[in-house]
Amino acid sequence: MSNRTFTMIKPDATGKGNTGAILSMINAAGFRIVAMKMTKLSKEKAGEFYAVHAARPFYGELVEFMSSGPITAAILEKDNAVEDFRKLIGSTNPAEAAEGTIRKLYAASIGENAVHGSDSNENAKIEGDFFFSKLEQF
């Protein structure tokens, strides 16, 4: 699984109509989409997805935000997918994100930051399996 990562286009980017532009950047960077769906997380499901952050002060805000509107979830394939995708999305805080990154272009704040990208191969697998059954992963 080391050539796969997991992403979500978050509710802020969905609401602003940036889904297509972001998917286009993902494709242009050489990632192949091997699973994809548009869906909306309940508070319970958002809380479960981000359970690792439960002790952080921003957890409540994060769960509210991630359940506030539709998202697009996808599994992406490319050599060195996890690391290369983190480079493509840029720093968590868009004010610190490099020029040309997805967050620099489309994120408004450290909380509403347009996209998610897995931080390890292990989490990529866990997160992909959270949204997609085996039959939905190509």
Q: Which residues bind ligand GDP (CB under 6 A)?
A: 58, 61-62, 92, 110-111, 113, 116, 119
Q: Which is nearer to ligand GDP, 58 or 138 (CB)?
A: 58
The least CB distance from residue 117 to ligand GDP, in Å, is: 7
What distance in Å separates the CA atoms of residue 5 and residue 115, rounded to the nearest whole number? 13
Query: Which one of 7, 116, 118, 131 is the catalytic residue?
Result: 116
| Closest-approach residue to ligand GDP (CB) | 111
Q: Which is nearer to ligand GDP, 62 or 138 (CB)?
A: 62
Q: Which is nearer to ligand GDP, 44 or 136 (CB)?
A: 44
The least CB distance from residue 135 to ligand GDP, in Å, is: 28
The least CB distance from residue 63 to ligand GDP, in Å, is: 10
53 part of the active site: no
What distance in Å separates the CA atoms of residue 62 and residue 41, rounded to the nearest whole number? 12
What are the residues whose beta carbons fall under 8 Å from the beta carbon of 71, sequence distance 6 or more? 8, 9, 10, 11, 14, 38, 39, 40, 41
What distance in Å separates the CA atoms of residue 56 and residue 58, rounded to the nearest whole number? 5
Q: Give catalytic residues, as residue numbers.
A: 116
